[in-house]
């Protein structure tokens, strides 16, 4: 019973965070000027935040020193500059990253060091 309770509470609280802006500003009066401005500029800022959030546990002092993350990030950027094809950029960066964090990178690393 408590299991179901925990799940329901987690569901309600997750929904609560998502509905907050709609409850605050979704009234019939319309959206305040400052909020509609934030709605336009925040996505670009939040995408930056989410990138850093994804990479937050990368350590530059412990092997492999963030090299897979940095390399894959650069590859995504270069691929996207080159072809501007979303799927190609994501697949290219991810496959390279997977190769690097799986055996490939470790064996390559041990050859060099």
Partner 1 sequence: MAKTLKFAVKQTIPVFCGYIFLGIAFGLLLQKAGFSFIWAFLISLIVYAGSMQFVLVGLLSGGASLATVAVMTLMINSRHIFYGLSFIEKFKKMGRRYWYMIFSLTDETYSVLCTVKVPSEMDEKRVLFLIALLDHIYWITGSVIGALIGEKIPFNSQGIDFAMTALFIVIFLEQWKESKTHIPALTGILISVLFLKLMGPASFLMPALIMIVLILLMGKSLIIREFGCEDVPTNEHVQQEHSQEEGI
* Per CB under 8 A, 39 contacts partner 1: yes
SS3 per-residue string spanning 51-100: HHHHCCCCCCCCCCCCHHHHHHHHHHHHHHHHHCCHHHHHHHHHHHHHHH
d(Cα 75, Cα 108) in Å, to the nearest integer? 19
Stated length of the chain: 113
Neighbours of 48 (CB within 10 A): 10
Which of 63, 86 has the CB closer to partner 1? 86
Residue 106 makes contact with partner 1 by CB under 8 A = no
| Among positions 1, 18, 29, 61, the unique one binding partner 1 when judged by CB under 8 A | 18
Residues 48-87, mask of contacts with partner 1 (x by CB under 8 A) = xxxxxxxxxx----------xx--xx--xx--xx----xx
Applying CB under 8 A, the residues found at the interface with partner 1 are: 2-3, 5-11, 13-22, 25-26, 31, 33-57, 68-69, 72-73, 76-77, 80-81, 86-87, 89-91, 93-94, 97-98, 100-102
């Amino acid at each position: 019973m408590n299991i179901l309770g925990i799940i329901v509470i987690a569901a309600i609280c997750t929904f609560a965070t998502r509905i907050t802006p709609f409850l605050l500003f979704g009234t019939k009066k319309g959206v305040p000027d400052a909020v509609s401005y934030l709605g336009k500029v925040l996505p670009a800022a939040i995408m930056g935040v989410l990138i850093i959030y994804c990479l937050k546990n990368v350590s530059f002092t412990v092997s492999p020193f963030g090299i897979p993350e940095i390399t894959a990030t650069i590859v995504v950027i270069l691929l996207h500059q080159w072809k501007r094809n979303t799927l190609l950029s994501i697949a290219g960066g991810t496959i390279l990253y997977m190769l690097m964090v799986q055996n490939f990178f470790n064996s390559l690393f041990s050859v060099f060091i």
